[in-house]
Structure 1
């Protein structure tokens, strides 16, 4: 009796552990599906050994199994967003491993040797093969492979061959009639591009374009087939589309720093309209300044930890953030100093589109980094607020186009910087709770923002890229760096375009710093000091604003005259003096915060 009871207890404990592990795996898969790379890494660590066991049983070769698992994990990472039921992660991963093993075996795994086509049985009368029709040929070969598998002593290789033919047949149907005709003529009938051009009455260059486009579409379709992403029979395979109606966002509500501007517009779309000075203050961008050590390039504006900054700000506002980020392989990556820590990714649509569709379907726009923004911007944050599967396009905002613009799925996948973020309200934060925060909560946030402002002002190297040839000066020291660029002389002239954008962005930022500090709910001497800081930031904003007026933000090639450079340098010296005074006032205000904590 005692032994049976103990055995039952162990069984129950084991079942409880399995249930707990299943829940944890499901939660990790859910997080990974929405772009959490840390969750995906933990998920894989749990199941890598099991995946290798699957691969080794199929191949009988532990070294080949390692390669298969590595390939399978890459594909799983790229397509985790396509997983519909996160409780089915293991069967989904098993299918990917099996497909990768099959692909390896086709290429010549241990003991596998493919038979030539001639070894298949001759077609019977019922086959009626049309050897000029690829569909007919593939249908015949598939049937032969299936029949051979029933009688052969090693049916697995015939089934693998059957799967290959079925895959070819499936992926070719993603091409239009003309694309398929040209593709078959070139790859199967071995016609030259010139011969195909004559056949279709088109230029040879157009033929090459069709072949390139077909290759790309087939590669994408093969990924869909191998991962089981095509709709099953009986499912609704109709193309979907949805377009969200964004709230009006007039110019008076916008800020030049589009990272914060788009977050404000996104929150307004979620019926959570926030004061932009509040967003600039809480995010820290009202108090930031960063200048490249090379010249007056505008890239210093973008040099911060995108992921952590966004997560922290949105968490403070009551939202959970999920990210898809990466840098494209074999592609020049802009703003490398900011995105160098992102994983290297491939230009595959399925890695981004499920996230876009899911967020838009839920009524939430997607924050997106756009490297094809209209001039004078070169790259900026935008909002994706619609998609159309039939047209294969997404709709997104553009700082210079009030009506937005359309970008193809291919362009989204080919973006050299992948940065998409979706948001949902924290479960414990009901809408009414978010809108009725206590004054104590608001004050704590304000104190944290003031501490952060002082820390940034005193930190000369707030952001350090890993790339050695990139370096930036931040805080009050950034003024000195900026001034040195202006006084470097004709041998090292400042960058005209960057100069205009830096002045426009930082003049506006200091205005929001002044306004934010006037809104914080402090009391007594701390409030008096904060108001003095606000006035000093106002003066700094005015001086940088004069620089912006002298060097307007517009793409221009003309050089800045020595006289204009000196004028701007003196204005920046004035701005620095006022901001240094503002920082001193805030440091004294922090002293009063500390006294209250000790009291």
Structure 2
């Protein structure tokens, strides 16, 4: 083969590769527009290096380029719906990166970055008395000059605002340690470059950028604290503490995929109230729950319920009252909007969350926490915070994929876009000596009957959960099976979400297995118990059909697309599961009717 033929062959292979990459990008962009966050993640993973290259080419600064790319990706995520031609995703992303880079380079006017203090215009008569190597001296003179101007000019508003700015900077600087403050002064006051500062301190340039970033974050949060009056004790001193609780072992046999219930079970075990997972799933209603997005097989429907109300009512039934801390951050992409849209908007300040954590852990109780940094293949899950360390500014918490747990910084907890923390206390009436055995049995029957009535009601209600956000719709109960089946048999050009389908199948298959276990142990008698056992058998078979689905589409993070043949097999298993679950609901209705007859005797 000649060199020309080899060159032509290589070019053809390259062209085919680029065409395949373009087709894949278009497919992922189309799925991302439908709300598929996993597809968006794959899309960004494919093009992040290009975005970094563009940003670095414009700025000549690799560290600034990282910040630009992060801002650009957030904007792309929020604006993906405005992309009219999905085949043009790469040029569209390039434009967003370019705009973000231009905005970053324009900040600070002629200084391109932060404006130096000298640029605020200190009068020449005052300049000679300033100790320019002492930031306190600079701020003192700037504040005094602004105050004098405010008293001597006819339009003092600008001078007063300047005075307030200088006083605020001075009041928040105590949050920096000595080294952070020295680097801060060198960068923002002396206007030295990071390379020059690195040479001064015999550090790497990357470390200097880390110090600058950390100082910015501290100053920003301290400014918020000062504005809200959240000041430290006199002298800036605070009591530094740490505590780590020893959680009881939580074997795989006790763990369930629905982490809302799983973490409640572990939390109760940590305070000496161990409960069977089947009991918790049954009493909470999650063993019988089914919800499917009207859009496609997104996994978000697992999380769509009223978190606050469900936690309060369920824990009250178990004998506990709940203290909640919840909210959503402003100007931040909030996951699971349909579940948290009613949460108040909150500020990302540590003082709003860390004292809550300290108080619960100091009392020997872990904190129930919604974690948006869960390890793959999960996106977010509930966890338990079981330790804190003021010196290291970090907490210790569980992670579904890390048996030994993990550590998060206080800053990460404060910046979680979804704030949901809860602590529990035993209700006084439940602390009394146990009632008679007959009274306890009656209470158990009442709770079991309530859970079964709840299961029947949910099965028959196709809209059990309605978000306020109009474009988010979910189908529930037995109707959810029909919705799911339609997704699997939809237009082959728009296949169902593969990652979500895997998590749904695994979660709901396990839930139905636990529904069967729960019903085998309800404290009924006679005909009511016979019908409960028949329902248990039907749920067992529904779980097996869903288990076949789960085995064929295992839960994992993947951009793989389900084939039409796979979709059809799964649809058949869903039809079988629906038939068994419909039979189970029929038996539960008969069990409730029998209980009503027994009451009337």
TM-score with structure 1 setting the length:
0.72
The CA distance in 2 between the partners of 1:507 and 1:360, in whole Å, is 35
CA deviation string 1:366-411 (max 9, x = no partner): 1111111111111100000001111111100001100000011111
- 1:514 matched to which residue of 2? 516
> Residue 485 of structure 1 is aligned with which of 478, 484, 487?
487
Quick one: which of 582, 586, 589 aligns to 1:587? Answer: 589
| Contact map agreement 1:487 1:566 (CA 8 A) in 2 | yes
Per-residue deviation at 1:169?
Answer: 3.9
Q: Does 2:433 match 1:410?
A: no
Secondary structure class of the residue paired with 1:385: strand
Verify the 8 A CA contact 1:324 1:421 in the aligned structure 2: yes
The alpha-carbon distance between structure 1 residues 507 and 162, as it changes in their structure 2 partners (threshold 3 A), is same
Unmatched runs of 5 consecutive residues or more in structure 1: 1-115, 147-157
Match of 1:562 among 564, 572, 596: 564
Please show how residues 158-557 of structure 1 align to structure 2 within 5 Å.
Answer: 168-191=169-192, 209-225=210-226, 229-233=230-234, 237-430=238-431, 432-433=433-434, 438-557=440-559
Which residue is 1:33 aligned to? Answer: none
Tell me: CA distance 1:516–1:361, structure 2 relative to 1, closer, same or farther (3 Å): same
CA distance in 2, matches of 1:159, 1:428: 58
Partner of 1:155: none
* Count of residues paired in the alignment: 474
SS at match of 1:288: coil
Q: 2: CA distance between counterparts of 1:370 and 1:551?
A: 26
Q: Is the 8 A contact 2:174 2:236 kept in 1?
A: no
Structure 2: distance between partners of 1:535 and 1:196: 71
Change beyond 3 A, Cα 1:184–1:434: farther
Structure 1 contact 318–434 (Cα < 8 Å) conserved: no
Residues 486/234 of structure 1: CA separation in 2 closer, same or farther (3 Å cut): closer
Cα distance in 2 for partners of 1:593, 1:585 equals: 12
SS of 1:555's equivalent in the other structure is: coil
CA distance in 2, matches of 1:409, 1:522: 49
Give distance in 2, aligned partners of 1:265 and 1:435. Answer: 28
The structural deviation recorded for 1:224 is 3.8
The structure-2 alpha-carbon separation of the partners of 1:130 and 1:381, relative to structure 1 and needing over 3 Å to count, comes to: same
SS in 1 for 2:396: strand
Give the CA RMSD over aligned residues: 3.4
After superposition, the Cα gap between the structure-2 partners of 1:432 and 1:256, relative to the gap in structure 1 and judged at 3 Å, is farther
Q: Judging changes above 3 Å, is the alpha-carbon distance between structure 1 residues 119 and 318 closer, same or farther for their aligned structure 2 residues?
A: farther
Q: Distance in 2 between matches of 1:476 and 1:510?
A: 13
Structure 2 partner of 1:152:
none
Whether the 8 Å CA contact 1:317–1:434 is kept in 2: the answer is no
Shift of 1:594: 2.9
- The Cα shift of 1:517 comes to 1.0
Q: Rate the CA distance shift 1:199–1:121 in 2: closer, same or farther, 3 A.
A: closer
- 8 A Cα contact 1:525 1:592, kept in partner: yes
> CA 1:287–1:169 in 2, change beyond 3 Å: closer, same or farther?
same
Q: Deviations over 1:243-279 (max 9, x none)?
A: 0000000111100111100000000001000111110
Mapped to 1, the partners of 2:540 and 2:189 lie a distance apart of: 71
- 1:570 match: secondary structure: helix
TM-superposed CA distance for 1:284, in Å, is: 0.4
Q: CA contact under 8 A between 1:489 and 1:562: conserved in structure 2? A: no
Question: Contact 1:120–1:144 (CA<8 Å) still a contact in 2?
Answer: no
Mapped to 1, the partners of 2:314 and 2:389 lie a distance apart of 31
Mapped to 2, the partners of 1:203 and 1:247 lie a distance apart of 43
**Deviation readout 1:198-250 (Å, 9 max, x if unpaired):** 65577777655544432220122234445554543599734211100000001
The question of whether the paired residues in 2 share the 8 Å contact of 1:393 and 1:408 is answered with yes
User: Could you say which residue in structure 1 is the equivalent of 2:36?
Assistant: none
Is the deviation greater in 273-282 or in 167-176? 167-176
Kindly indicate whether the alpha-carbon contact (under 8 Å) linking 2:225 and 2:349 is maintained by their aligned counterparts in 1. no
Contact 1:329-1:345 at 8 Å conserved across structures:
yes
Separation in 2 of the partners of 1:120 and 1:359? Answer: 57
Q: Which runs of 5+ in 2 are unaligned?
A: 1-120, 148-158
Q: Evaluate the alpha carbon distance shift between residue 182 and residue 579 of structure 1 in structure 2; reply closer, same or farther with a 3 A threshold.
A: same
- The answer on whether the counterparts of 2:329 and 2:345 sit within 8 Å (CA) in structure 1 is yes
Q: Work out the CA distance in 1 between the residues paired with 2:436 and 2:317.
A: 13
CA distance, structure 2, for counterparts of residue 164 and residue 291 of structure 1: 52
Give the SS at the match of 1:530: helix
Tell me how far apart the structure 2 counterparts of residues 452 and 337 of structure 1 sit (CA, whole Å): 22
Change (3 A) 1:120 1:523: farther
Given that 1:454 and 1:587 are in contact with CA atoms closer than 8 Å, whether structure 2 keeps it comes out as yes
Q: Given the two structures, how large is their TM-score scaled by the length of structure 2?
A: 0.72
